[in-house]
Amino acid sequence: MSLHSSLRSAGSHLGTMRNVLKRHERVRHHMAQGTWVDGQSVLGLPKIKQLKLKARKAATKEKEAATAEKPAAAAAPSAPSAKA
């Protein structure tokens, strides 16, 4: 039996952020945090909150710093010339 075309994902979904971890991922997380007790049951593990963090580009910070350093005279508009 084949998968219906509306149920297929567009492209590869391996790099996407998931809000639910699999059981073995939760065990690894608890081991890394030091909260895992040997012999503990893998059933009934607490949920782990996943945060989506967007990294700001360093180039954006450099542009903001460059615009802050510009002299105020260059940013001020020139006075209109008077015609007689």
30 assigned to some structural domain: yes
76 assigned to some structural domain: no
27 assigned to some structural domain: yes
List the domain range (segments joined by +) for residue 33: 14-38
Residue 27 and residue 21: Cα distance in Å, rounded? 10
84 assigned to some structural domain: no
Per residue in 30-40, pLDDT (tens digit) is 999 888 888 88
9 assigned to some structural domain: no
Q: What is the pLDDT of residue 84?
A: 56
Judged against a pLDDT cut of 80, whether residue 79 lies above it is answered with: no
Judged against a pLDDT cut of 70, whether residue 54 lies above it is answered with: yes
19 assigned to some structural domain: yes
Q: What is the pLDDT of residue 47?
A: 82
Burial of 21 (0-12, 13-18, 19+ CB in 10 A): middle
- Domain tally, the chain: 1
Q: What is the pLDDT of residue 35?
A: 87
